[in-house]
Amino acid sequence: MLFKKVKSEGLAHFSYIVGDQTEAAVIDPRRDIDIYLEIAKKEGMKIKYIFETHRNEDYIIGSRALAKRSNAEIFHADGELDYQYGQLVEADKDYQIGRLKIEALHTPGHTKGSHSYLLKDYDQNPWMLFSGDILFAGDVGRIDFYGEDNIPKIAALLYDSLYNKILPLGEEVILCPAHGAGSVCGSQIADRELTTIGIEKRSNPYLQFQSKDDFINEVGKTEAKPKYFETMEAANLNPASAKNAPFIPALSPKEFEKEMKKEDTVVIDIRSDSDYAASHIPDSVFLWEDILSGFVGWFLENNKRILLVNNGDYPEKAVSYLFRMGFENLVGYLARGMLSWHMAAKSTESTAIINVAQLCNLLDTRAEAEYLLLDIRKEEEKEEEGYIDGALEIPLTVLQANLVKYAEEIDRGGEIYIFCGSGMRSMTAASLLENKVENKVKVVLGGLNAWSSTSCPIKIEE
């Protein structure tokens, strides 16, 4: 028997390949599909089926590309959409792979046509559930893709899918969701790699409600959507049949600078925050490689021309991350990194940093008019960690989406100290603000554990 989870780092996306004897099935394949073919080849199996749990929003599905290479049948969900490939999965039908069966369960809620796939063991007992974006470890799928007016209706569908279809399968059933912690598809996904229906039944806050009305009231909210979601939704109705990640060229400082001047070009610096702070190209956006997938979709539309700055090696990981999300207009990367930029005597900027302890001491000796503390944490973080009294609160993604609007409010006088809990996202915010405001921007390193300001105390709301 074959079972493999394929993790796409950055996106926190999980796809799966399962099989028995000589047959296998893949659930929610990513765009770069060679890994599934390699696994099947190693196990001596043929990929017979490709199952999609729903039409994805955060990455381009690899179903058509994989089917072209493997001759597998594609079954997708969301029958109301105008798919240009594959066929609609049939609810309650069993699909055979070797001695195992996979039953398609219609579990609407994230989307109207969402399906989960129940793997049955050799005795036809429920064994594993591939739940897509319906149920995660510690969280459930978002329900706002059909607009605010439809949220109560979709929330009711989600409740029925969770409480009346999934929970009755049995506590021992292994749960295999489509995303892990860090995904934009869930704000509270637990960092729990392995889970079961029983574990979620006991610990998932969304599985503790006594009534459907209480559930609807709790999950019924509109959440922000990254810019690229709509592009992904359209692309996934007719994804490319086969395509490899692009190979991007190394550019000399002269070539790089020439490309920078072209319309719709963005320079993304994927180095560490300390490297960026020390020296960076003016007007570049800081998105450390490890957070690139989680944030680039909030900042850029897919048609932007992208130039990358790293330490000079080929940025293979970053190219893969961007490719999976549909960013294909990758122009090149700076050969030899900032070293070559400095040797060519090109202009640079630096970003000031300060640690939490230093900032707290400074705040207690300065008048309020001399500084602005900008807190870019998400609301969930502030609820858990505490609120900084007197801080201007603008989450990073909201700041970016309304940069012109907020820049004037932020630049109201005094030095600007940006806080996020570690400094990583603050450096991104600083990269956005540095040339939009007149007052000096400083990034605060560290979290609330070291916060001890008496003028700006931490408040915990009950």
Each residue's pLDDT tens digit, 82-133: 999 999 999 999 999 999 999 999 999 999 999 999 999 999 999 999 999 9
- pLDDT per residue over 78-95, tens digit each? 999 999 999 999 999 999
Q: Are 158 and 110 in contact (CB under 8 A)?
A: yes
Least confident of 206-210, 225-229, 397-401: 225-229
Backbone φ/ψ region at 32: left (φ over 0), alpha (ψ -120 to 50), beta:
beta
Residue 448, pLDDT > 70, answer: yes
Among 73-77, 94-98, 421-425, name the one with the lowest average pLDDT: 421-425
* 395 pLDDT higher than 80: yes
Percent of the chain with pLDDT over 70: 99
Domain ranges of the chain: 2-235, 250-343, 352-459
**How far is residue 52's CA from residue 130's CA, in Å, rounded to a whole number?**
10
Q: Do domains 2-235 and 352-459 have the same CATH topology?
A: no
Checking if the pLDDT of 243 tops 80, the result is no
Question: How many whole angstroms separate alpha carbon 61 and alpha carbon 240?
Answer: 9
- Number of Cβ atoms within 10 Å of the Cβ of 124: 12
Span 45-73, average pLDDT: 96
**Tens-digit pLDDT profile for residues 245-295:** 889 999 999 999 999 999 999 999 999 999 999 999 999 999 999 989 988
Tokens read off for 202: 């006991």
Amino acid at 233: E
pLDDT score at 65 = 94
d(CA 336, CA 175): 45
Q: Are 428 and 295 in contact (CB under 8 A)?
A: yes
pLDDT digits (tens, 9 = 90+) for 7-33: 998 788 999 999 999 999 999 999 999
Distance CA 372, CA 390 (A): 9
- Residue 183: per-residue pLDDT: 76
Sign (positive/negative) of CA torsion 456, 429, 269, 380? positive
Question: Which residues is 116 bridged to in the sheet?
Answer: 105
User: Which CATH superfamily includes the segment(s) 2-235?
Assistant: Ribonuclease Z/Hydroxyacylglutathione hydrolase-like (3.60.15.10)
- For 352-459, give the CATH class: alpha beta
Cα separation values, 146 from 18, 58, 365, 458, Å: 32, 16, 51, 38
In the chain, pLDDT over 90 holds for what percent of residues? 78
Alpha-carbon span 426 to 267, nearest angstrom: 18
* Fold (CATH) for 250-343: Oxidized Rhodanese; domain 1 (3.40.250)
The answer to whether residue 186 scores a pLDDT higher than 80 is: no
Q: Report angle CA 447, 451, 453 to the nearest 5 degrees.
A: 145
Secondary structure of residue 264 in the 3-state scheme: coil
Please name the residues in contact with 440: beta carbons below 8 A apart, sequence gap of 6 or more. Answer: 352, 415, 416
Which of 141-150, 194-203, 218-227 shows the lowest per-residue confidence on average (mean pLDDT)? 218-227
The 10 Å Cβ neighbour count of residue 156 is 18
Tokens of 103: 């039953």
Q: To the nearest whole number, what is the mean pLDDT of the chain?
A: 93
Question: Helix crossing, 34-43 with 63-70: angle to 10°?
Answer: 40
CA distances from 446 to 3, 53, 276, 280, 452 (A): 40, 39, 17, 22, 12
Give the other-Cβ count within 10 Å of 261's Cβ. Answer: 7
- Indicate whether 462 pLDDT > 70: no
Mean pLDDT value of segment 134-160? 95
CA distances from 448 to 151, 323, 410, 453 (A): 35, 36, 22, 10
Give the per-residue pLDDT at 421.
87
